[in-house]
Structure 1
Amino acid sequence: MHNSDSQSPDQAPEMDAQNAATGGELDALKAKLAELEASNRELRETVLREKAELENQRRRLHRDLEQARRFANEKLLNDLLPVYDGLERGLTTEGGDVATIREGLSLTLKELLRIASNNGLVQVDPVDQPLDPERHHAVSMVEAPGKAAGTVVAVLQKGYVLNDRLLRPALVTVAKDD
């Protein structure tokens, strides 16, 4: 029988050494591949957990914002309940003189203004001040001796500012030039 192998007998041990080295490298590469696949699985799981946590935080934030929006007026309305009670008591009172009713209304108004002020509402009452088109709305001009032109002489309806933002301008009468 004839050996059709073109390798000489001297080359066989060299090929076996190469195959062994290649086999060792192959095993090392397989081990490295398994290690990288395991690392990839861990990273994928971490990313999925982080993604789920972000989604949970988003849902919690949305729920908290919705609750805050729904109950934003709770403190203000709770503060207004005594005013409401006072007005109801005043309406159920039989008889009584005008002075007593007026005093009750005055106290109720003071309480209402105190609550509004505590919540950032400020009245705009510009009598004897120069007209400010940003905060006042002039509805008429009148002759007013002793007043400079453009000065507010009467307030028909007070204006209101909420935390430095105009809520409603004051309706005013302004002195005109003589």
Structure 2
Amino acid sequence: MSTPNEQDRPPGANGAPAEGGEVDLQAALQAAEVRALESRDLYMRALAEMENIRKRASRDVEQAHKYAVDKFANDLVGVKDSLELGLLAAGDAQTLRAGTEATLKLLAKAFEKNGLTEIDPLGEPFNPELHEAMAMQPSAEHVPDSVTQVVQKGYQLNGRLLRPARVIVAKAP
């Protein structure tokens, strides 16, 4: 029977490898070194690719921020042109009014195309998520907690509140 230490030793005299065992160990070592170099190469390539992806994503986000309002700006250029033409052609008050109304229609169309909607809650129930109460007035002809007057219209961009409508709200007399 052999002792535990003898069992742990490689075969051969006095713990020396058996004949041909040294060659096997050398081959295994070389194979492990090749695999380690391949793994390191793959790791370095993956690291470089991740850095390239990070840089590309950062550049894309920067471009998105820089040109986020590009479409909206193009629509507003037409509004500015209309205002300038209106000023040049402003002979009488009626012509100026017609030009201003046309420009306002252009602006409303630009708002609509870009998801900007107006909040004009006159007569509607007060909604604290969309309205900002400037004052409460006793009123017999309006339903309590309804909007009796719009001081300033509000706006939403694609469903997100940009500015609440500033309103005066009815309260029971």
Bin for the TM-score computed over the shorter chain: 0.7 to 0.9
The partner residue of 1:27 within 15, 23, 27 is 23
Report how far residue 93 of structure 1 moved: 2.1
Structure having the higher Rg: 1
List per-residue Cα deviations over 1:66-86 (Å, max 9, x = no partner): 111111111110111111111
Report how far residue 135 of structure 1 moved: 1.5
Per the normalisation by structure 1, the TM-score is: 0.81
Aligned positions of 1:46-125 closer than 5 A: 46-95=42-91, 97-125=92-120
The aligned counterpart of 2:169 is 174
- Show structure 1 runs of 5+ residues with no match: 1-17
Report how far residue 94 of structure 1 moved: 4.8
The aligned counterpart of 1:158 is 153
Aligned-pair identity (%)? 43
- Show structure 2 runs of 5+ residues with no match: 1-11
Aligned positions of 1:26-45 closer than 5 A: 26-45=22-41
Distance between the aligned counterparts of 2:24 and 2:139, measured in 1? 102
Report how far residue 175 of structure 1 moved: 2.3
Report how far residue 42 of structure 1 moved: 0.9
Per the normalisation by structure 2, the TM-score is: 0.84
Task: Give every structure 1 segment of 4 or more consecutive aligned residues whose post-TM-superposition deviation is greater than 4 Å.
Answer: none
List per-residue Cα deviations over 1:90-129 (Å, max 9, x = no partner): 112252x222211111111111112112222111111111
User: Alignment length, in residue pairs?
Assistant: 160
Distance between the aligned counterparts of 1:145 and 1:106, measured in 2? 35
> What's the secondary structure of 1:22's corresponding residue?
coil
Distance between the aligned counterparts of 1:122 and 1:46, measured in 2? 52
Distance between the aligned counterparts of 1:137 and 1:63, measured in 2? 39
Report how far residue 48 of structure 1 moved: 0.6
**Over aligned residues, Cα RMSD in angstroms?**
1.9
